[in-house]
Amino acid sequence: MIDIKFLRENPDAVKENIKKKFQDNKLPLVDEVIELDKKSRKAKGDADALRANRNKLSKQIGALYGQGKKEEAEALKADVQAQGEQLENLEKQEAEYSAKVTEIMMKIPNIIDDCVPIGKDDTQNVEVEKFGEPVVPDFEVPYHTEIMEKFNGIDLDSARKVAGNGFYYLMGDIARLHSAVIAYARDFMINRGFTYCVPPFMIRSNVVTGVMSFAEMDAMMYKIEGEDLYLIGTSEHSMIGKFIDTMVKEEDLPQTLTSYSPCFRKEKGAHGIEERGVYRIHQFEKQEMIVVCKPEESRVWFDKLWQNTVDLFRSLDIPVRTLECCSGDLADLKVRSIDVEAWSPRQKKYFEVGSCSNLGDAQARRLKIRVRGKEGKYFAHTLNNTVVAPPRMLIAFLENNLKEDGSVSIPEVLRPYMGGQEEIKVKN
């Protein structure tokens, strides 16, 4: 959510930003919120003036009673009571206008960074840099579920019976590999100075609307029936929510946290053949990183965060590349976002395994995450990034470490988490 003062003073800039995001249907919202804001401020001004006048009259009433002028005092007292009804109406108007302003402001997209390329959707995202040399082996690389099945490592049929499509059982070495990757990612981030955290896996609606747009909320979140609770789609939600309605001391910034959680997502809509298996699912686990920092430091932290993911994947011998997300591919709260994509030897192309985002002060404004600095109070900046999200990441891992005989090599850094195993051997 952008600053109402900025919108008030720069309506054309806000409209231009909306156009850059190809959301022209939201252009009328700018003029609408400006008009409602005027009405809200007028109602507040009138209410403040009326309160001041009532206080003045109340003092006069006391003085008149003290002088024995009862009739004059009673007349003024009647005026004060009449003004009380008027004040009540003004306060009601102010609250209604203010609520409408907030509702509309939450629909207006955040101001994107100047470096963001202008494009309508993810097909216009821009490659930034490649890390590692993509390799296509001489032998055929099977679909990832076929690789897992050779290790007796996955059971989709039983999962469909138990929970439906979009769920899975991971078994044996594949299940162990899944847990090993999560544990390795945890330690990797701890070694980079981040504080490890296991957060709540459910959050209240005020946190949901504080960290994401209404459109994202509807498309992603599972609601707990009969309760004001939602299953998290990523631990970023509850991790940023940890700071709701707080005043952080400037000297305590930045706050750098890495968190583990299961994640639950609706994943609405149909998807292509390459998103079968465990690519796009309703339940998965993830290691995440978040930063709460001073505004002037968020650009530096943004580059540090995506680099962490690149470094982790390279330590596992997986080639990756970074993509700068274009304006139309950015969620409404995001200032800037870079996707990390891993190389798929089977598809002979890259696919998304993580996303790094700078949200500026948008989440902080919604959640009232403020900083007490030497020169006053201000809103913090928040950032988040995927460290690793198996089982999707396992697709890249298995394909890039697959050998011709069907076994899978275990990179040296992961072996301590796999009981010293150097490879996973075919079971059948």
Closest CA to 394 of 285, 242, 272: 285
307 by Cβ neighbours in 10 Å (0-12 / 13-18 / 19+) ranks as: middle
Tokens of 88: 């009540």
In this prediction, residue 80 carries a pLDDT of 66
Tokens of 91: 């306060």
Q: Which domains does the chain have, with CATH numbers?
A: 4-105 (1.10.287.40), 122-424 (3.30.930.10)
CA–CA distance, 385 with 356 (Å, rounded to integer): 4
Q: Tell me the average confidence (pLDDT) per consecutive run of 10 residues in the chain, 428 residues long.
A: 93 98 97 95 87 74 72 70 78 91 94 97 96 95 95 94 92 97 98 98 95 82 94 95 97 97 78 65 94 97 98 96 97 96 96 96 96 94 96 94 96 97 89
- The strand pairing partners of 263, in sequence order, are 284
The reply to whether the predicted model has a pTM over 0.75 is yes
Q: DSSP character for 143?
A: P
In this prediction, residue 419 carries a pLDDT of 96
In this prediction, residue 226 carries a pLDDT of 95
Please state the separation of Cα 50 from the chain's center in Å: 43
Tokens of 291: 């930063």
In this prediction, residue 268 carries a pLDDT of 58
Closest CA to 328 of 107, 32, 24, 10: 24
Q: DSSP character for 153?
A: -
In this prediction, residue 391 carries a pLDDT of 84
Q: Give the count of alpha carbons within 13 A of 82, CB side only.
A: 7
In this prediction, residue 273 carries a pLDDT of 44
CA–CA distance, 4 with 101 (Å, rounded to integer): 9
In this prediction, residue 63 carries a pLDDT of 73
202-203 and 283-293 beta bridge pairing: unpaired
